[in-house]
Amino acid sequence: MKLTWNPAQTPVALHSALRALAAEYPLRETARRSAGTIRLEFVAGDPSRCAAHRTGAVIQITGGTPSAVLRAVGGALSDLVADGATIEESCPFTTFGIMMDCSRNAVMRVDHVQQWLRRIALLGYNQAMLYTEDTYEIPGEPRFGFQRGRYTQAELRELDAYAASLGIELVGCIQTLAHLDQILRWSEFQGVKDFESTMLVGEPKTYELIGRMLDAIGGAVRTRRIHIGMDEAWHLGRGAYLDRHGAPRKFDIFNEHLAKVVALCQARGLKPMIWSDMYFAMGSPSHGYYDPRCVIPPDVSAAIPKAAQLVYWDYYHNDAAFYRDWIGRHRAMGHEPVMGSGVWTWSQLWYNYKATEANAGACIDACRSEGVKELFFTMWGDDGAYCDFDSALAGLTWTAERAFATGKPEPARLAARFRAICCSDYAKVRGAGDLNDYCSPALLWDDPIIGIFANEGLPPAAYPTWEKMQQHFAELAQGLVGTKESPGAGDLGHARLLAEVLAAKMALRAHLIQAYDARDREALAAVKKEALALAGRWEVLAESWRRGWMRRNKPQGFEVLQIRFAQQSVRHRELARRVDELLKGKVTAIPELDDRPREAKGMGGGWRFLASGSIGG
């Protein structure tokens, strides 16, 4: 669909957005009418609603906010407006946003963030958060974000201006208590360290550093809203703080720190929000965030600064009733929650549509019924950010459709919108999410000789046989044959390579154990060939991973994944060598294969857990 707009007849507030979109989409600025094009005309409307009505070669766009208008423009680009018809949508959320993890190895390139901003603007989002634990520049702090791909002040300002041109609020999301192990390992920050990843509450130097953090973010973006983190501070008060002050109630340590940080924010005109999980975990007998037995004492709730918004994050429940309960618990604390749901990318090889649709769908329904007005969707990079992050655009298309409509999204509309805005095939990108079945990242990273996950992570009651898993991934790979690289929203060619490697690795493991236990020389010789072939496949897969990473991200952080690729390649070659030594009689056994537990306990874990049987591995 080729669209045009006349700047003389278009509100000035929309000019920058339409010009930014024209860098990628068929949206031309002209006063002339041309054959084969559709003219966009804009009319002010209700802030919560958007509409597009077509009469011949003109589509009239109605909306009260830039995000509403651009959602309707996205519908026009998707050819969803038939002649004589009107599409009308509404969103119950005044803030409808995303959060991108830029802290776990992958820091998205500025130009790629800009591409994402164009896409989410056309989907109807009006807020974007960059989660940066230490990946932003603080003048005078050279070790802060050192070799981590940090955003410079100039880059943040550029992104802020670009987001604003599209009607998107760019919000900094930092950490001011925990999740700071990346900086606390450096000697110059030891004076503000409590324990491992947690800052030292009450230490003046802590608040000097936090002040510089706030200045760095607050000075680079125009919004006065800022997310200051403070989640998962499990070691709060257990290190240097304990040595200095003993063991006060954790609630009190937390609120003491929060009050100081909020005061620093207010002195700078900033409006902070924090993750709320610590209150619920501290009030739980089991220290669990989602424990229904948790009790937050009234004096603790009363001491939470009113200036701090509480963000209720929850990616794990598929029951709307649970979300409604927890929303009510936040309100009982005297705070209207901001809701943080999730589009699943963490510890995944590809966007996980199953978890997202079940859990985010229930969350959206609960927020709508409870009148929650602010909702955003996180996309994390736990365990190394090895997910093809662009595939998550399929999830964001789905969550936007679910928010702007009631009930499950209509497949044809989803596909058309995704094709036009994200430049890919929705069904194929979504279907590639079956890569995540059977804890596939653990299967992928598992050492081929030691086999920690193979031995401990696959209890027979929960998983099919190795042969059936191999068949699953082989069929998935076959279904992706012929797909071309689609960098707009996940590289389907890369997904095919992943499925092929997983299928080959499952087959190798099954053949290895059978041949080794039987000491079948012919089968062991075949295993040797399989292992060498798979080592070569890993090298091809590593090149594909590199292409995607460098297209999306800054180079720092990729070394983490390259170490893993190299390990897999060399360990498969080592397996072939060990089998060859067994066949030649140089050894009588492969000890790692003999050291297998009789019963799998269902243990899991990330790459560090699977790379070696030794902690130092």
CATH number for the domain harbouring residue 81: 3.30.160.230
Q: Do residues 124 and 261 share a domain? A: yes
The CATH number for 415's domain is 3.20.20.80
Identify any residues that bridge with 97 across adjacent strands, giving them in sequence order: 127, 376
Q: How far apart are CA 133 and CA 100, in angstroms?
A: 12
Q: Do residues 472 and 564 share a domain? A: yes
Q: What is the pLDDT of residue 459?
A: 76
Q: Give per-residue pLDDT as tens, 524-550.
A: 999 999 999 999 999 999 999 999 999
Q: Give per-residue pLDDT as tens, 115-129.
A: 999 999 999 999 999
Tell me what the pLDDT averaged over the chain comes to. 95
Q: How far apart are CA 73 and CA 2, in angstroms?
A: 12
Structure tokens at 268: 């700078």
Q: Tell the residue number behind the tokens 């964001």, with chain if given.
A: 396
Residue 464 pLDDT exceeds 90: no
Q: Are 122 and 168 in contact (CB under 8 A)?
A: no
Q: Do residues 347 and 408 share a domain? A: yes
* pLDDT bucket at 25, cuts 50 / 70 / 90: very high
Reduced to 3 states (helix: H, G, I; strand: E, B; else coil), residue 353 is helix
Reduced to 3 states (helix: H, G, I; strand: E, B; else coil), residue 583 is helix
Q: Give per-residue pLDDT as tens, 259-277.
A: 999 999 999 999 999 999 9
Q: Give per-residue pLDDT as tens, 370-400.
A: 999 999 999 999 999 999 999 999 999 999 9
Residue 567 pLDDT exceeds 70: yes
- How much of the chain, in percent, has pLDDT values that exceed 90? 91
Q: Do residues 561 and 544 share a domain? A: yes
Structure tokens at 178: 């925990």
Q: Do residues 76 and 162 share a domain? A: no
Q: Give per-residue pLDDT as tens, 166-197.
A: 999 999 999 999 999 999 999 999 999 999 99
Q: Do residues 210 and 293 share a domain? A: yes
Q: Do residues 558 and 449 share a domain? A: yes
CA angle, residues 478, 480, 483, in degrees to nearest 5: 135
* Domain tally, the chain: 3
Q: What is the pLDDT of residue 351?
A: 98
Q: How far apart are CA 117 and CA 66, in angstroms?
A: 13
Q: Do residues 298 and 396 share a domain? A: yes
- For residue 135, give the DSSP letter: -
Q: Do residues 361 and 453 share a domain? A: no
Q: How far apart are CA 173 and CA 164, in angstroms?
A: 17
Residue 617 pLDDT exceeds 60: no
- Is 39 inside any structural domain? yes
Please give the span between the terminal C-alpha atoms of the chain, in angstroms, as a whole number: 54
Q: Give per-residue pLDDT as tens, 309-344.
A: 999 999 999 999 999 999 999 999 999 999 999 999
Q: Span 341-365, mean pLDDT?
A: 98
Q: Do residues 80 and 120 share a domain? A: no
Q: What is the pLDDT of residue 597?
A: 85
* pLDDT bucket at 484, cuts 50 / 70 / 90: low
Residue 486 pLDDT exceeds 70: no
The CATH number for 530's domain is 1.20.120.670
Q: What is the pLDDT of residue 281?
A: 98
- For residue 485, give the DSSP letter: P
Q: What is the pLDDT of residue 147?
A: 97
Domain that holds residue 545: 437-610
Q: Do residues 570 and 516 share a domain? A: yes
Task: Name which of 296, 280, 178 is nearest 238 in CA terms.
Answer: 178
- Is 462 inside any structural domain? yes
Q: Do residues 276 and 300 share a domain? A: yes
Identify any residues that bridge with 227 across adjacent strands, giving them in sequence order: 173, 273
Q: Which long-range contacts (CB under 8 A, 24 or more apart) does 148-155 make?
A: 148/107, 148/182, 148/556, 148/557, 149/107, 149/553, 149/554, 149/555, 149/556, 149/557, 150/107, 151/102, 151/107, 151/110, 153/216, 153/219, 153/220, 155/110
